[in-house]
Structure 1
Amino acid sequence: MRRAALVLAAAALTTQTWAVSLRDIRTDVKVREGYTRCVVELSGETEFFQRDFLARRKYFLVDIYNVRPAVAERFITPATGPVQQILVLNRKDPDAQVLTLVFYLTDVRRYRVFSVKSPFRIVIDVFHSPEGVRTTTQEARPTVTPVPLVPVRPTPSVPVVTRQPPQRYRADGKKIVIIDPGHGGSDSGAQSYLRIGGRRVLEKDVNLAVAREMKRLIDAAPNIEAYLTRESDRYVSLADRARFCDRFYGDLFISIHCNATDSSRKRAARGLELYYLNPRGATRGSLRYLEEIENRNGGSNGGSTPDWNHPIFRSLARESLLKWLNEGRIVCEHLKAACYQIPYYRRYGNREKVIQSAFFYVLFQAEMPAVLVEIGFLTNVYDCRRLADPQFQKQAATALYNGTVAYFKARDERFEPKYLALPAGP
């Protein structure tokens, strides 16, 4: 016991040596030199990482790891220049306290991030001229020593988890669709009350089957391709799904789910529901229940748990609403029209609105038009039998495909859709 205690104490001391404290954050608008500089002075070296959202939302973030204690959260407003505000906030990574600086810009600008030693400082320069290609690192002047965006911790005996910036890419001339089969692995999602073949129907299995079929149909088309956030029965946290989206310049994000109700009195609910982003969240009780189910694993599996009441998330939600809300609604309209070619959906439309808005984590994080599709209620006997049927799964996937290409055609006259006939139903 004594030896174990000494080992734990030594580990605690080693951990403490990784932590650094914030000494100062200062900004300077250098008008003659043509840039705004922000300097973050720390008590020692630590790793930092930049994330770029300029093309879509006109901000970028710098995460600085192992900063303790937490700092006072605040806004810094430069007197002039392209930096409108800098938001200073704390958040928790699974293995570190993180200091995050969010740089809100007037428009897309070049910038650079580098470090200077003795004392250790992280320097962020935002250039005033909008001309040129945006950069995130740059060779510094001889008086400073640039370091990688993800420097190694100074303690060599401790294994380092390298955080690489996302590599964005897209296929030339093709539309890209990110298909997200909800849940998976240890998170089964909703499950049926009805047993088919002696077992309950699990949402994760239906979601994956429909998503795979939709991807197969999309990849067979010449001008569109699809990527799945998971291709097997494995757990993927909502944060990891968001990071997956960050790898692509996607044109559309579709999250596929099965619906459920929270009481036996509501098991008559059936049919299709389509959701686009509403950053204010749901107002009806049934929608709030659905939000809770779909968002419940957002902080697991390596993702940090966000504080949705924090000013940054309220601000980003407003920006997402302004930019993507209308597009999400339009996508839903096309998907609804295509799905209603399926006789079952057309005959047994849900008694509530088919197209609705709610706050789902995956929709908020996706940097593209994003919708969540509930293809039926596992808690309804009639829906459940169809959702478990491979023929109905193919029908649903085909309808979602047709709605997707119809949306692309409506938004891009050069896009030539290849519509598919619905397969026979069950």
Structure 2
Amino acid sequence: MARLLLLLLLLFPLALNAATVNDIRTWAGPEKTRVVLDLSGTIEHSVFTLDNPARVVIDLERTRMAPKLVRHIDSVGLVKRIRSGVRNGEDLRVVFDMAETARPQSFMLGPNGEYGHRLVVDLAPFAAKPAPTKRLPTQSQRPLRIAIDAGHGGIDPGAIGPSGMHEKDVALAVAKKLAYLIEQAPGMEPLMIRTDDYYLGLRERTAKAHEQRADMFISLHANAANAAHAHNVRGAAVFTLSHSGASTEAGRLLAERENSTGLIGGVSLDDKDDLLATVLVDLSRTATVRLSLQLADEVLGHLGKMGKLHKTQVEQAGFVVLKSLDMPSVLVELAFLSNPAEEQLLRSDDYRWQLARALFSGISTYRDEHMPEAPRLTAQARRQHVVRRGDTLSDIAQRYGVSLDTLRSANDLINDRIMVGLKLVVP
């Protein structure tokens, strides 16, 4: 009996130190599938792959699965199924049955406001499918390309409002409306950085904009204040990269210029001597900071016309997504999600359209006043809206911020009846 008690006493600390997998969350993005294991504490782990059939295996030391957690998860992205089992008596093995061979990358995250310890596993296709080759139009031929970055996403909800609204959802909803307005404008083309609820790293966002040859970058967010000021702080704000942030990024590019092809207006720095590379980066930094401030001023001005501003001046900070030295980049805080009144506004589809129209107007004004070579919305090149199923004339008027009478007059309509496929001129 004494030996049994001694054995139990020896095993008791081990049981206390064992970590638990409390939840498994999955997201499928266009370039990778992400699996997140929510843990009760830090763990040691290893990841490897098996073939025939394709599997990704994760061994977690001194870890167990929470009894309430369902062990089998259905297909998501590249993952067909997730299963688990005990290994060596006290370790846990988690197996991803894959739809195809994948390249895993894993890392640990510490606790934040909403989640505790997490093990994140990113699964990318082992061999990326080559994109169809197409001839890119010259700068003078192609439309102005605006990258729209909906902040956060996937495992990163961003700020959370008093009634549970997530910043990632607000940002994506307004981003889609802004993209719609840009798509209707001649000479402009939207590029959505994130199209659904999945996570993208900060550098991934700017890299995607560069790959698609974006001409400007708009990152959308919702702000949050601490609990003591949540009811009092409100309003939109617009940020650009600070001079110190631009200097830091310039230094990074020069230090890593063997990998910087295409980051300075498509010009590689790897074959330039130190003096020439420094001059090129400095010129690009100075011009881009100036252009970003001009774009931010226009966007802030139009946001101010529709509602309260948190700050009446453009603010500057070192946000990573703004560190593009060859395209004007701004970050917009649409409102304070922590403010109950503004959270309610952000739930309104009408208010989201108002925000999208203000952003679009700011972009259009910047283009017309600071980009003389860009196409304009002339009388001969007005916006068009192609009527879709479910559209009503009043909805279309509200969407574009014009009156019903103006829309009827511009299209010689005697009543509000419209047919699917009809092309409406939007003044």
| Structure-1-length-normalised TM-score | 0.49
| Structure-2-length-normalised TM-score | 0.49
